[in-house]
Amino acid sequence: MMTAETTVPGMKVVPKRDPIQTDRVQLMMTCLCDAFFDDAARASVECLEEAGCRVVCPPEQTCCGQAAYTSGDWETFRHVVRHVTAVFADPAPIVVPSGSCAAAMFHEAPIAFEGDPDLPRVQRLANRTWELADFLVNGLGIRSWRGRLDARIAVHDACHTRGTPTGPAMRTLLDGIDGLERVEFPDEDVCCGFGGVFSVSHPHISSRMGRRKVANVLSATPDLVVSADMSCLMHQRGIAEREGCAYPVRHLSQVLRDSMVTGS
């Protein structure tokens, strides 16, 4: 099909992706979708199918292991990544509805396997792992998402997608939807304070950052807060709810899917 090569401004190294040879893709559902956000995973499947992919979702999958990486327990992280390489042994692209889990595979796993005999296997996994929006736009070459959704949307970029093609890809997709208005808010590029284990080791700072983010987002009075990562949204929504504010969050895939339904 097409060679997928993407260069973006920013400093993070995104591996040069393997060309996409097949219409078959493997979905890594992520632990958060497995536990809390089933509709985001379901919408991801539906969007990929709409884009012409055949989606398989290996049932033996568990988690990407990132919590172990950021907590510093790399022995556990390597164990989990080895499990991931076994479950996703198929050479088809791996698509993840989370920029954070995708980065755990393509950026963090190769760091934790430096000097390990399994590094080549892990690097091959890295080279075929994509965040969903990045895959749709830069992997499949979709330039515009046809659909309709009358909503004002605030887009939150997860910090793990800094310097990756995810942010521009999300905007490319959203901007093709009729009726959708993207609203801007102050300090869009500042972290919301989730940070995985940071949220519980530094709860005071984490929640202060979260309250600032929520206030900034709400100042733009969006109908929906949309991201390629449910983890940040879970933290933000949790904070807003504690403060008694409504904070309607959606995964990007849910917006894309809902626009399809309303539009057709």
Partner 1 sequence: MSRQALDIFASELDATVLQAIDIGARSGVEKRLATLTQDYEDPDALRRLAGQLRQHSLDHLDEYLAGAERRLEENGAQVHFAATTARALEIVLDIVRASGTRVVTKSKSMASEELDLSRELASRGFEPLETDLGEFVVQLDDDHPSHIVKPIIHKTRHDVARSFERSGLGDYNDDPETITRRARSFMRDKFLAAGVTITGANFVSAESGRVVVVTNEGNARFGQAGADVHIVLAGIEKVIPRDRDLALLLSLLIRSATGQRITSYVELIGGPRHPAQPSGPREMHVIFMDANRSDIVGSDMAPILRCIRCGACMNSCPVYRESSGHAYRGVYPGPMGAVLGPLLADEGFGKLADLARASTLCGACHDVCPVDIPIPDLIARLRERSVREKVKHANQGVPPMSVYSLVARHPRLWRLVMSLGHLMERLPLARLPIAAGRAWLDHRTLPRWRGGRFRRWLRRSEKGRADD
Residues 120-139 that bind partner 1 (CB under 8 A): none
Among 119, 183, 197, 215, binds partner 1 (CB under 8 A): 197
Site for partner 1 in 161-190 (CB under 8 A): 162-163, 189-190
**Based on C-alpha coordinates, what's the Rg of the chain?**
18
> What x/- string results for residues 86 through 125 when contact with partner 1 is judged by CB under 8 A?
-x--x-----------------x--xx-x-----------
The single residue among 14, 28, 45, 180 that binds partner 1, judged by CB under 8 A, is 45
* Residue type, position 209, single letter: M
Which neighbouring-strand residues pair with 225? Answer: 154, 249
Binding residue (CB under 8 A) for partner 1 from 6, 15, 18, 67: 67
CB of residue 22 vs partner 1: minimum separation in angstroms?
11
Q: Is 68 in the site for partner 1 (CB under 8 A)?
A: yes
- Please report how close the Cβ of residue 73 comes to partner 1 at its closest, in angstroms: 4
Q: With contact defined as beta carbons under 8 Å apart, do 178 and 247 qualify?
A: no
CB of 2 to partner 1, least distance (A): 22
What is the number of other CB atoms lying within 10 angstroms of the CB of residue 242?
Answer: 12
Token representation of residue 189? 């590029």
For 28, phi then psi, to 5°, come to -95, 115
Give least dist CB 38 to partner 1, A: 4
Question: Stretches 27-35, 132-140, 148-156, 172-180: which one binds partner 1 (CB under 8 A)?
Answer: 27-35
Q: Which two tokens stand for residue 207?
A: 């929640």
> Which CB sits closer to partner 1, 17 or 235?
235
Q: Tell whether residue 10 is a contact of partner 1 (CB under 8 A).
A: yes
The CA distance from 57 to 201, in Å, is 33
What is the footprint of partner 1 within residues 238-257 (CB under 8 A)?
238-239, 241-242
Q: Which residues have CB under 8 Å from 58's CB, separation 6+? A: 26, 87, 88, 90
CA dihedral 193, 196, 201, 205 (to 10 degrees): 0
Q: Which of 21, 144, 201, 221 binds partner 1 (CB under 8 A)?
A: 201
Min separation Cβ 150 and partner 1, Å: 26
Phi-psi region of 30 (alpha: psi -120 to 50; beta: other; left: phi over 0): left
**For residue 163, what is the DSSP state?**
T
Site for partner 1 contains 71 (CB under 8 A): yes
Binding residue (CB under 8 A) for partner 1 from 4, 29, 96, 132: 29
Q: What is the spatial distance between Cα 166 and Cα 259, in angstroms, rounded to a whole number?
A: 20
